[in-house]
Structures are given as C-alpha cells and as structure tokens.
Structure 1
Amino acid sequence: MGYPENVLARDEQVVLHRHPHWGRLLVPALVLILGSAIAAFIAGYVNTLTWEPSAKRIVFLVIAAVWLILIGWLSVWPFLNWWTTHFVITDRRVMYRHGLITRSGIDIPLARINSVEFRHGLLDRILRTGTLIVESASQDPLEFQDIPQVERVHSLLYHEVFDTLGTEESPS
C-alpha cells in the first residue's frame, strides 16, 4: 500500500515509503508471547484449585484484565506507533510522519537539503538498519532513527536531491 495520495501535491510521485525497521517490534513481540504464556500458566494453575466457581471466575477476570493492560501497553501500543510512523521520499520532498493519537510530522523540500549522512553500528549493520541524518538550509540536522536499508535510502536521497537541483555535481 502506498502513502496516502491526499498529502501529495499534484504530479508528486512517491519514490520511497518506509516504516521504521521491524527490529523495533522484537521486544513487544517477546512481551506478547511471554505475557500470554505466563497468564495461561497462572489460569491453568487456578483451574486446578478446588475453589468456589465464583472465586475462580473473579481470579480469571483479574488475570485477563492484567494481561489486557500489559499487552495493550507493552505490545499493541508500540506496534501501532510503528505502523503509524512513515518515512517518505518523493520527487519533491522528504516527509516524516508519526503518532497515533497526536500526529506530527516534518517536510523538507529536496531543494533545501544541504547534506545527507547515515550512521550505523555493528548490530545495525547486521539488521540492515541505521540512522539517516538530513541537514537542510534552515535547521539543525534531523536524525531519523531505525531506517531500514539506510545505505540504500541514503544513496537514493542523494540522487533525488541532485536530480532536483539539476547541478553539475549530479551523480551519473
């Protein structure tokens, strides 16, 4: 699925659309698996006890409520934040949008970009992710964390910037 057309200008084309790297979802996935296993174990243990059925029902409801709160907060919320974070390069600008309830974003026209850098350590290189640093004419450098295939994105953005400028420095 492409980026929503209603935020693009007329004749503007999406060159690249990325969510943050999937590595951001490892801890929430582990929390979901472990939390579910622990809740199931406790519920199974409570089921073996010789308590009144109404007492068991209350304990099951408490287990379910705690599970729902923890899983919602530590697994579902991070996933929704990941899903609603967009890094988009078009033929005219770089867009970054994030947030689920309160949305925010920034647009940088390609013509205003002075330099594009990337940074990634050993673990980032193994996971093929990194930080993209964009310096524009009017702002301090902006760092975009967890960009998948950051070297490829860096190269693509570099080419788009120079194609937009139409300078002699444009790579062939």
Structure 2
Amino acid sequence: MGNPSGPPFDPDDPDRERRERDTEHIPRIDPDDGPGHGDDPSLSDDPTFGDDGPGYAGEGRSGRAWIRDPEAGYQPPQFSEDELAGLRVEDVPRRVLPLDDEPSSLTARYLFPTERYRGEWKRHWIHLSTPIIIGVAATFVLGYLSGFLAGRNVGALTTVAVLLWFAVMAWVAWRVADWWYDRFILTNKRVMVVNGIVTRKVAMMPLARVTDMKYEQTPAGRALNYGTFVLESAGQDQALREIKNLPNPNELYLRVVEEMYEPQAVEARLTKQAEEAAEDGA
C-alpha cells in the first residue's frame, strides 16, 4: 500500500532507492558516549559505529561535520586545496604576531625548567605619558625661570631652579627605567607581572585558576592600541588582577585564551614554525 501523503509506490522508479536512503533515520547520541567513552553494547552492534567513523552522527568533537557513507560508515570531511587556501597564514592577515624564541635575561630568571615561554610585553608607551608631560613642562617653565632670574642677577635662585630641573629629570629617568623593567610574561603554565628596580615584585597567577578574563579599551586606547586586562581567579586572594596599559590587547587576549583552551594547538604551531625555520636555514 502506497504512502497516502506522498507519490504512489512504483517498484521501477529509479530514484526510489536514493529517496529511501536520503530519508533514512540517522541516530544522534551524546558525543561522550561514542567509542572510547562508554561500553554501551547497543552501539557495538551497529555496523555504522565502527573504527571507520567517529562513533556518532552529526558533528565531531572538533565541531566539523562528519559524512555518512553507506559503505564505509562515517568519514571525516574532505577538503580540497582550493578550500584550504584561505586558511593558510600567508594568505590572510596575521592576528597573532610572531614571538621571540628565547626569553630575555630579565625574564629567564623567573622561569622554571619545565614551563614553556610564550612571550613577554612591556607596557604601552602611554604608561609614560605623565612623566613625559611633567618633564617637558618642567623644562620650559624652569628654563624660562632660570633665564629670567639670570637677567636679574639673582644667582642663588637661578641655581635652585637648575637643581630643581635636574631633580625632575632624574625622576623622569627613574620612571622610564621602571617602565623598561616592567614586564607582563606568559608561559604555558601561568601569567606573571615583574616590576621594580630596587625592590623587585613578582606577581603570578596559574592559567588553571583563571576563571574569567577580559580587556577594556577606552577611546584613546582603541586609537593608540592599548588596554587594561582584568583576570578573575577561583581564589579570593589574587596576586594580580588588573594590568593596565598593555599593548596590542586583542593579540594578547588571543594568546592567553589559546594557551588556556588549546595548548596542544599552540605547541603544534610553534613546532611547525621551528621546523620551517630550520628548513629555511639549512
């Protein structure tokens, strides 16, 4: 008896087998219940859930769709060279800049042997805006004052003005040196902030304890490409939470997030880059 809601049954219809195959029910189960994730005997009896497929219909754990082949079972999708061309690094703008291979001597002393260095960043030059403005203003004001006092033959006050200018310049130099030694460091285990010239301060947070991370950019930060990072931890007492005036915040955000969620991908990419560099140098 034919289906009253569809076309009449025709045993000689050449498209009948294709329509039945296209409308065949495809089971969907939890990805975690696939092969290697459980001992459900109902799956082992299904020939489509064998070694040739991922163990379930739909999308794999990587988020890509699997293709059901009536003869070979479920197969991973196949991509042509043209489809993959747009994903190659040389064909698209780089969102993550290359890293230095080795940490600086300033950073290396704070790394233990088994962790892998991912990068270090000085704060954006905007961090020096206040001392630079003060230094420039002091130069103009005290320079004019020294000339004015020298014309009045007031040698003692002129000397005071010059000494005051030297004091301001020394403070500016101190702030610039402090900026130079202030580093934000990322490894595969933790994030660190190291600062201080006379009194060194080292604050760190394990990546495993970071529960939330965001960065904020003011209009000036968007124009000059800097931002403030805010790290949330599972613990109450945090060694570091807010890091201001970090350069390239989007790039840095991608690096930290990738290190938190896809450490194997980072390691594979860096290994491939090292191999390509070795081949180019050979």
TM range (shorter): 0.7 to 0.9
Partners of 1:46 and 1:108 lie apart in 2 by 55
The equivalent of 2:186 in structure 1 is 89
Partners of 2:145 and 2:232 lie apart in 1 by 53
1:33 to 118, 122, 136: 136
Asked whether the 8 Å contact 1:116–1:157 carries over to 2, the reply is no
Stretch deviating more after TM superposition (105-114 or 145-154): 105-114
What CA RMSD, in Å, does the superposition of the two structures yield over aligned residues?
Answer: 2.4
TM-score, normalisation: structure 2: 0.51
Q: Report the Cα offset of residue 30 of structure 1.
A: 2.0
The equivalent of 1:134 in structure 2 is 231
The equivalent of 2:117 in structure 1 is 14
Q: Report the Cα offset of residue 91 of structure 1.
A: 2.2
The equivalent of 1:124 in structure 2 is 221
Q: Which amino acid aligns with 1:59?
A: L
2:200 to 95, 100, 103: 103
1:59 to 135, 151, 157: 157
Q: Report the Cα offset of residue 129 of structure 1.
A: 1.0
Asked whether the 8 Å contact 2:213–2:231 carries over to 1, the reply is yes
Q: Report the Cα offset of residue 104 of structure 1.
A: 2.0
Q: Report the Cα offset of residue 148 of structure 1.
A: 0.8
| Corresponding residue SS for 2:123 | coil
Stretch deviating more after TM superposition (111-120 or 125-134): 111-120
1:154 to 227, 232, 253: 253
Q: Report the Cα offset of residue 140 of structure 1.
A: 6.1
Q: Report the Cα offset of residue 11 of structure 1.
A: 4.3
1:116-156 CA-to-partner distances (Å, cap 9, x unmatched) read 21111222111111111222332467121111111111111
- Structure 2, unmatched stretches of 5+, are 1-102, 266-282
Q: Report the Cα offset of residue 46 of structure 1.
A: 2.9
1:92-118 CA-to-partner distances (Å, cap 9, x unmatched) read 210112223332222122222222211
Higher normalized strand content (fraction of residues): 1
The equivalent of 1:24 in structure 2 is 127
Task: Look at both structures and tell me which one has the larger radius of gyration over its CA atoms.
Answer: 2
| Structure of higher RCO (CA pairs closer than 8 Å, 6+ residues apart) | 1
Q: Report the Cα offset of residue 10 of structure 1.
A: 0.8
| Corresponding residue SS for 1:46 | helix
Asked whether the 8 Å contact 1:130–1:150 carries over to 2, the reply is yes
- Structure 1, unmatched stretches of 5+, are 168-172
Partners of 1:14 and 1:110 lie apart in 2 by 13
Partners of 1:154 and 1:23 lie apart in 2 by 19
Partners of 1:135 and 1:63 lie apart in 2 by 48
Say yes or no: does 1:5 pair with 2:103.
no
The equivalent of 2:277 in structure 1 is none
Partners of 2:202 and 2:254 lie apart in 1 by 23
Partners of 1:150 and 1:127 lie apart in 2 by 11
Partners of 2:228 and 2:121 lie apart in 1 by 13
